[in-house]
Amino acid sequence: MTTTTSTSVVETVPKQLFIGGSWQDAADGGHFAVDDPASGERLCEVADASPADGRRALDAAEAAQETWAATAPRARSEILRRAYEIILERREELALLMTLEMGKPLAEARGEVGYAAEFFRWFSEEAVRIEGGFTRTPDGANRVLVMRQPVGPCLLITPWNFPLAMGTRKIGPAIAAGCTMVLKPAPQTPLSSLALAGILTEAGLPEGVLNVVTTTDAAGVIEPLLRGGGVRKLSFTGSTQVGRLLLAQCADTVVRTSMELGGNAPFIVFEDADLDRAVEGAMVAKMRNMGEACTAANRFFVHREVADAFAARLAERMTALTVGPGTQPGSQVGPLIDAAGRAKADGLVQDAVTRGAKVLTGGEVPDGPGHFYPPTVVTEVRPGSELMRAEIFGPVAAILTFDTEDEVVRAANDTEWGLVGYLFTRDIDRALRVGEGLETGMVGINTGLVSNPAAPFGGVKQSGLGREGGRVGIDEFLEYKYLAIPVVPVADGRG
Ligand code: NAP
């Protein structure tokens, strides 16, 4: 990629399947369209894999596994490090590509490119620090040698909302651990993953280690692979609904799983909070990625004493945002991913209004092309409203009030999800108490952003299984092996 025009960045990305180190058409020659959500216009077509293509991709991953596992950790590390550097060199092109296929404003896309690259840097450092252990059993008779080995060929399935980072968060640790893989990106945003395959090849990744299949037949391609016995690990990011289905498919062949699923994050503002920080945090937790994030603040619980002030300030900030195509200079809020995503967000708002909620700003579908929805603040939401139960996945802040700490912790935990929670208070005891009480895998204290490659990302309850990133991220791709070594004592009884 040498220039950064929309046409040139799309043109330079391969549109084929990446199998066994070569770019290939789908066996049946199928293609599907990739559209720009800001205009509805077609960007390009990419190969549409059939189940047979999926099988070939897994065959390639299985064939490469033994050699890849035997490759020196330093060599694996350096490939990741080179890929990290190439991604940063191409930040502008990759950001534009992501904005075109997914819709987020360019400034946010640039941020995601940096975040995505950091997973490669982090796991390049982890690749050379895979530790085992050597101990003596309590009775003194045996030695226990513990080693870590790659789990084997992995299936990685990613969603459309963070097209680059959701890929690198899985590919990075898989490469570091010595696993081969088949990546299936979301059909709305395949281009970032295809560009990434090109970058990893340039960085020296051997053929067959990463295979990418783009398809509109996710169920048809994936199920036979999971049931066929060759996949040793599924790492999935997406909705809880699809996660459940895939867990059931993994049960038959006992495939190990990591599941990064949906969220319903509470955002709690106590009466002693610094309101400037709380509003700033709310803007990040709600508006990052137009609200299309699993970590998005979904339910705002604000103490009755500060609720009106908080809502008014949040509405003011939300109203001032510039909505427009992500490629437009100054745009802060891009389109939602598709018509269904917009209809869902709007349907939740209208349902809440019918039940008595008040709209402070937004709440109306605009005319014109693209799937835009205005930043919206809704107050006086009735607890039974679907707006408080569903994952909104749009730029809609729904505000409820509360009176006591116990009450708000109970309300925040009253959901089947448990990915992240946010709380704002100046009281350190309360911050720790409530932080411990929230049934979530992550808690932001006086911040609206928790994602960090150095931290273990993931949820409890129906938000998922396992963690990505941090020191534990690589564990998801490693098995323990223990070698038992009895040591025969010398005849005089020593040892
Ligand atoms: P989705 O509908 O569950 O899709 C996610 C991925 O799974 C896509 O690649 C999709 O392909 C594929 N898929 C769907 N059905 C499948 C099947 N039967 N077999 C195999 N693969 C299948 O979710 P989404 O709407 O793309 O993404 C939004 C969801 O992801 C939200 O719930 C969000 O919270 C969650 N998310 C979670 C995290 C996290 O880290 N916890 C991060 C980001 C997003 P098709 O589109 O072709 O069906």
Half-sphere exposure of 432 (CA within 13 A, CB side): 2
Take residue 279 and report the two structure tokens written for it.
């509003």
CA of 218 relative to ligand 1 center, distance in Å = 10
Nearest CA to ligand 1 atom 42: 294
What is the mean pLDDT for each group of 10 consecutive residues in the chain (495 residues)?
73 97 98 97 98 98 98 98 98 98 98 98 98 96 97 98 98 98 98 98 98 98 96 98 98 97 98 98 98 98 98 98 97 97 98 96 95 97 90 97 98 97 98 98 98 98 98 98 93 62
Ligand 1 centroid to Cα of residue 303, in Å, is: 34
CA angle 134, 139, 142 (to 5 degrees): 40
**pLDDT computed for residue 489 by the predictor:** 84
Encoded tokens for 391? 């994952």
Q: Which atom of ligand 1 is nearest to the CA of 294?
A: 34
State in Å: Cα 295 to ligand 1 middle. Answer: 14
Which residue among 239, 290, 440 has the greatest number of ligand 1 atoms within 8 angstroms of its CB, and so is best to mutate? Answer: 239
Q: Is 468 a catalytic residue?
A: no
Residue nearest to atom 18 of ligand 1 (CA): 219
The alpha carbon torsion through 95, 98, 100, 104 (nearest 10 deg) reads: -90
pLDDT of residue 7: 85
Do 116 and 199 contact (CB within 8 A), yes or no?
A: no
Tell which atom from ligand 1 comes closest to the C-alpha of 459.
Answer: 41
CA distance 287 to 108: 11
Whose structure tokens read 């949906």? 262
Helix (H, G, I), strand (E, B) or coil at 207: coil
- Output the pLDDT for position 2: 42
DSSP single-letter state for residue 414? -
| 298 vs 388: CA distance, rounded Å | 7
Q: What does the longest C-alpha to C-alpha distance in the chain come to? A: 92
**Residue 151 alpha carbon to ligand 1 centre in Å:** 23
* Ligand 1 binding site (Cβ under 6 Å of any ligand atom): 157-162, 166, 184, 186-187, 218-219, 222, 237-239, 242, 245-246, 260-263, 294, 391, 419, 459, 464
- How many Cβ atoms from other residues are within 10 Å of residue 3's Cβ? 10
Question: Contact, 387 vs 349, CB < 8 A?
Answer: yes
Determine contact, residues 27/50, Cβ cutoff 8 Å: yes
Q: Which of 393, 438, 440 is nearest to 418 (CA)?
A: 440
Half-sphere exposure of 344 (CA within 13 A, CB side): 15
Q: What are the chain's domains?
A: 6-261+463-481 (3.40.605.10), 265-445 (3.40.309.10)
The residue to mutate among 46, 237, 462, having the most atoms of ligand 1 within 8 angstroms of its beta carbon, is 237
Beta bridge partners of 299: 266
SS3 283: helix
451: its two tokens = 């994602």
- Catalytic site residue from 126, 260, 391, 476: 260
Amino acid present at 483:
L
Residue 6: phi and psi, rounded to 5, are -55, -45
Residue to substitute in 192, 242, 255 for testing ligand 1 pocket (most ligand atoms within 8 angstroms of CB): 242
Neighbours of 22 (CB within 10 A): 12
Amino acid 3: pLDDT = 46
Ligand 1: centre distance to CA 237 (Å): 6
| Tokens of residue 45, six digits | 């077509």
Q: Counting atoms of ligand 1 from 1, which one is nearest the CA of 260?
A: 41
- In the chain the first and final C-alpha atoms are separated, in Å, by 65
Q: How remote is the CA of residue 159 from the centroid of ligand 1, in Å?
A: 5
Q: How far apart are CA 192 and CA 184, in angstroms?
A: 12
Nearest to 96 by CA among 318, 334, 296: 334
Cα(17)–Cα(46) distance, integer angstroms: 8
| Rounded Cα gap, residues 495 and 489, in angstroms | 5
Q: Any idea what the Cα angle at residue 430 is, between residues 427 and 432, rounded to 5°?
A: 110
DSSP secondary-structure letter at 109?
H
Sign of CA dihedral 252, 258, 261, 265: positive
Cα(58)–Cα(56) distance, rounded to whole angstroms? Answer: 5
